[in-house]
Amino acid sequence: MHIDLSGRTALVTGSTQGIGAAIAAGLARAGARVAINGRSADSVNSAIATLGGDLPDADLIPAPADLGDADAADALFEQLPGVDILVNNLGIFGATPALEITDDEWRRYFEINVLSAARLIRLYLPGMMERHDGRIANIASDSALVIPKEMIHYGMSKTALLAVSRGYAKEAAGTGVTVNSVIAGPTHTGGVEDFVYQLVDKDLPWDEAQREFMRKHRPQSLLQRLIEPEEIANLVVYLSSPFASATTGAAVRVDGGYVDSIVP
């Protein structure tokens, strides 16, 4: 299957590192013009330099903005008023004992992980519907379905993101625009390495620490390893393509079999 996204413009939020950077690279590799987003111009320019080194022909747009802020989202929309592909990847996570999660933390997780996506959909979906063409993918998590006791505020935000995706898919019904969520399983990123070492012996070498983390904290994974970001990106690139024209309103899993269910 050859996916050609030439002539398409994509915005990937939180794309200076980790899963977002892998998604941006995958879309660029398929020929899309890709807007790289991060909170600072320095982080965005650094990511573009890195990605451009790997893909010298890539058409990359700097799009710095702190999308946890409504005014910043509006400013980004003014800079980039029309996209064909919107990938809401921005998200934060961290381990906090359940009874120690403050009201401010609940609000911060909802603001960044949920409202940032809802705002951008509200801005970009009308234009996609007018053109009868567009793809929106919201990056959720296995934590949306299997709430981790060490970060229930994160799980709550990802569950809410599934509802956001399904609801906006209904709004776009019959227009040719698809809206889906991607349920990503435990994935190997720099941030996750830090998280793993919060839960296992900090003196363990990474390979041993990863195995210990999966054995103790994610034993239901059928993959029995962390997923690589490129494996998440492959699914997002497919969902962004014409081949996925009949997939909408779905919560599509790339979780390594972590969620113990036949359907989400």
Residues labelled catalytic: 154
**Strands laid side by side in the 177-184 sheet:** 60-62, 33-36, 9-12, 85-88, 134-141, 177-184, 251-254
CA nearest to 28, candidates 15, 42, 14: 15
3-state helix, strand, coil in the chain (%, to 5): 50, 15, 40
Amino acid at 259: V
Point out which residues pair with 181 in neighbouring strands. Answer: 138, 251
CA distance 93 to 195: 9
CA distance 60 to 84: 15
CA distance 237 to 27: 6
CA distance 85 to 240: 6
Residue with tokens 């999966």: 214
| CB atoms inside a 10 Å sphere around CB 196 | 22
CA distance 52 to 42: 15
Token couple for 117? 């996506």
CA distance 46 to 48: 5
